[in-house]
Chains A and B, each alone.
Chain A
Amino acid sequence: MSQFLYLYRMTAAARQEAMGTPERAQQSMQRWMAWMGELDAKGHLKDRGQPLERTGKVVRGHKAVTDGPYTEAKDLVGGFTLVEARDIDQAVELSHGCPILDGGGSVEVRPVMKMDF
């Protein structure tokens, strides 16, 4: 098994839209619980990960520090999860059920580099 990082990306507008009304929030939450629960039940969930604040700092050379969010980026990473899968194809397939996809967001699937050589 290999490890993959899911990076959840979404624009602020899409995030607001996914919330919409309290009932939409409820449905969205339930879909997330179902999806995460399934990953967990099938043994793919290595680490649930963490949500990320949408603000922060960007540090560049010469100690130039600017405020994030990174306004040039259309969609921000709102959180991450570490999963285990056979290969990237399976990791991609597992991500298809992620509710963020219904709300116009995306999942970036990144293999964790293997260090055993």
Chain B
Amino acid sequence: MDLSEHLFRHESGRLVASLTRIFGVHNLALAEDVVQDAFCRALEVWKVRGVPDNPSAWLMAVAKHRALDVIRRAETARNFAPELARVLASEWTLAPAVDEAFSSPVMRDEQLKMMFSCCHPQLPEETQIALVLNILCGFGAGEIGRAFLTSRAAVEKRISRGKKVLATGQRLFDLTDAEFAARLSAVRRALYLLFNEGYHSASGKTAIRSDLCGEALRLTLLLLEAPPAAAPETWALAALMCLLAARLPARIDIAGDLHPLLEQDRSQWDRRLVDDGLAFLDRSATGPAVSAYHLEAAIAAAHATAGSVDTTNWNAIVLLYDRLMAIAPSPVVALNRAIAIGQRDGPESGLEAARSIADSDRLHDYPFYPAALGELELRRGRVETARDLFASAAALARNSVERRFLERRASECV
């Protein structure tokens, strides 16, 4: 039996969520200890005896067993989940209650409740993301720090502050709460940011990037399994993630070199993810509202379905960016719109659009602003201007992958 990829990470989130149902969110650390225990035991047994046929079931059985042990040894069940206190206090109802917490629909809902709790409005977004990665995706503080180029200590502080806020809530977020829609929107936002971090990440390591994108997509798909969370915007977000993730293999090559969309080898795009993305986008087309996720996904779909840069429907893409600017304006969106205009109407028009970005001062340390101007200048034959622009872009690079790419572009300007 082989180990499936990231087995322990994924099991960690599922098991912690179910154990939290039993122990109560104020005992999150206890839930995490029980999971850690189960993993230690798995390691000891499996390394000698081999991986069992159903490793997930094996881990779950050990976690359940440990949970029962902890409860039986406790003086009183009152200190666990208050709503289960009576059930846990009687030997007759204890085991069925523990079984129920680990049944698959409950396990899924507990993960959702945990996800919703992590995206508490009192917590800054970076803390929400760190909590999601730590509790639901089994990332350690050091691993999160490496992905976000932050120190382990800083991430630890963030996580422990976040867990304190979780614990004061007494119980996890109730999926029937009146605040559901607002919280769902915060969850989507956190998952979107998590995905973006992986996609554009400051970290140069390809494995870390695709891990973060993969986790964001996995949790978004989990949202889609639960009817109330499977809103049109959630489908659109899933579509966007699939369509962008499809390009990851062509975006960073084996040598770790960055290839921007316009020069990617499209045969390396993951067709399965493109198909999934297009199917999700179809399903998102219900309900009255068109969200930013819908528009971004539609733009990604326009690229994903075009065989080449030349056959891309740039007019449709410009129009989608116009609509995106209307509902979620940002200088980065405006810059991407300018690039699309440059493709549709020629470099002069693109430059004009790029230079007239309203709050372009917010792009002053964004390397892809001068880089985009450089591409447009190069296309209209101003080689030296382009080279200078790429050089200033390289000076702004946030990691070695970006720097290598921008220096290469500068050196190609001859």
Chain A positions near chain B (C-beta within 8 angstroms): 15-16, 18-26, 28-30, 32-33, 36, 48-51, 78-81, 99
Q: How many B residues, CB 8 Å from partner?
A: 26
Distance in angstroms from B159 CB to nearest chain A CB is: 13
Q: Is the CB of A18 within 8 A of B143?
A: no
Interface of A is mostly: helix
Q: How many A-B residue pairs have CB under 8 A?
A: 79
| Chain A contacts for B9, CB-based, 8 A | 22-23, 26
Chain B positions near chain A (C-beta within 8 angstroms): 2-3, 6-9, 11-12, 36, 39-40, 42-51, 138-140, 142-143
Q: Is the CB of A21 within 8 A of B44?
A: no
Q: Is the CB of B51 within 8 A of A20?
A: no
| Chain B contacts for A81, CB-based, 8 A | 48
CA distance A81 to B142 in the complex (A): 34
Given contacts A23-B6, A29-B47, 8 further A-B contacts (CB under 8 A): A15-B44, A23-B139, A23-B140, A24-B140, A26-B6, A26-B7, A51-B44, A81-B48
Interface of B is mostly: helix
Q: Is the CB of B8 within 8 A of A26?
A: yes
| Chain B contacts for A32, CB-based, 8 A | 43, 46-47
CA distance A15 to B42 in the complex (A): 12
| Chain B contacts for A78, CB-based, 8 A | 44
A-B pairs, top 5 by smallest CB distance, nearest first, are A21-B140, A22-B8, A22-B138, A32-B47, A22-B9
CA distance A15 to B11 in the complex (A): 20
| Chain B contacts for A24, CB-based, 8 A | 140
Q: Is the CB of A50 within 8 A of B6?
A: no
* Option from A18, A20, A30 in Cβ contact (under 8 Å) with B140: A20
* Option from B51, B138, B142 in Cβ contact (under 8 Å) with A33: B51
Given contacts A29-B3, A33-B3, contact A49 B48 (CB under 8 A): yes
Q: Is the CB of B50 within 8 A of A48?
A: yes
